[in-house]
Amino acid sequence: MKGLLLFCILNVVLFTSCSKGRLVPSDQADTSSVLFYGADPTGQKDASGAFRKALSSNHVMLIVPRGKYIINETIELKKHLRLMPGVVIEKTNGGNDGPIFWLSKSYAKLEGLNKRVEIRSKRTVPNGIVKVGHQNRKIRGNNILFIEVENITITGPGPSRGNDNIGLYMFNAQAKGDGTTTSYFHTVNNVILQHLDCGIFIEGMSNANSISNIILNRVGLGGEDAAIHLAGAMENRIYDVFHHHSKNATTLLLNSYNDQNNTLIKPSFNYISQIVSEQGGENAKCADIKSGYSNSIGLLCNSNGGSIRFDNFKTDKNTMQIN
């Protein structure tokens, strides 16, 4: 009894009382653990419901202790989720094909304490294992700002030729002229993406995101997929990227996006630098630039296929430096 009483006193910041030998979480505390909402850290039971319940509480931050957690449903993340070293989050073959985590509200944060945190899917995930921004093209009047994703490893079921496995998907439903539906100013840092068709896909008028310190391993098999794909994205900074062990894949792909008003949005004013393309294979390409305006691209190209640029690349004020 003395030990239990001492434990309760030491956890007074997180919990209000002890009842029948169990801790009762306080909704007034800033921080709590998903374990107190029934999440199974052994990987034997689906923890989707427990995560959803924990994230709907009043806590500012939810902690995920070391363990394996099965999440087969999409968890909408609107606050701060911190994953401790050694955490594995897994979607099984029996899960749906939606994201594991969808960050849908300003200031949401998905944080691993180091890259030993792994979020992985055993089935195809066409909308990203982790998704940032709007749900679909029909959304209106919803600005999403300042989301963070950092210090994690995202693992897919393996690259295919269908471009169905995306690691991180960033989507902005904003149409041209619409200032009330934006997805801007997000930060992605210190992330490993592996065994995927596409590592990072930025689609729509996604604007002013900062993406850095990225390792892409076994991402892409060639064809229309690419390790990093920008479709209409604008004013993003992407730097310190290493793409390797991805035979015949393309590192960087830029093309246009048709918004809801059928307006063609070119990727524009993106600053992309310090990209190492070293994936191997006779047909591997450093870059495939199909459209764009005023983009600045810097690559260290160790790929046999070189790069492809559309005919008016320079006329449209794009620059590319390849070493």
Give how far the C-alpha of residue 86 lies from the chain's centroid of Cα atoms, to the nearest Å: 19
pLDDT computed for residue 21 by the predictor: 40
Rounded CA-CA distance 93/79 in Å is: 27
Whether residue 232 lies inside any domain: the answer is yes
pLDDT (tens digit per residue) in 93-112? 988 999 999 999 999 999 99
- Could you give the CA distance from residue 81 to residue 64 in angstroms, rounded to a whole number? 7
- Write the DSSP string, 31-50: EEEGGGGT--TEEEEE-HHH
CB 231 within 8 A of CB 258: no
The Cα-based distances of 63 to 109, 279, 321 in angstroms read: 12, 36, 43
pLDDT at site 276: 96
Number of domains in the chain: 1
Q: Is residue 157 part of a domain?
A: yes
Beta bridge partners of 202: 170, 230
**24 lies in some domain:** no
Q: What is the pLDDT of residues 60-81, one digit of tens each?
A: 999 999 999 999 999 999 999 9
Per the document, the length of the chain is: 323
CATH classification of the domain holding 190: 2.160.20.10
Domain housing 72: 31-322
User: Does 207 fall in a domain?
Assistant: yes
As a whole number, the mean pLDDT across the chain is 90
pLDDT at 161: 67
At residue 149, the pLDDT reads: 98
- The answer to whether 295 and 318 are in contact (CB under 8 A) is yes
**Any domain includes 11:** no
Residues 6+ apart with CB under 8 A from 12: none
pLDDT tens column, 131-141: 999 999 999 99
Please work out, in degrees rounded to the nearest 5, the angle formed at the alpha carbon of residue 292 by the alpha carbons of 275 and 189. 35
Q: Is residue 301 a part of any domain in this protein? A: yes
Q: Is residue 262 part of a domain?
A: yes
Q: What percent of the chain has pLDDT over 90?
A: 81
pLDDT digits (tens, 9 = 90+) for 153-204: 999 998 876 668 999 999 999 998 899 999 999 999 999 999 999 999 999 9
- The per-residue pLDDT for 49 is 97
Inside any domain, residue 96:
yes
User: At residue 15, does pLDDT exceed 80?
Assistant: no
pLDDT attached to residue 208: 97
Distance in angstroms (rounded) separating the CA atoms of residues 308 and 311 = 10
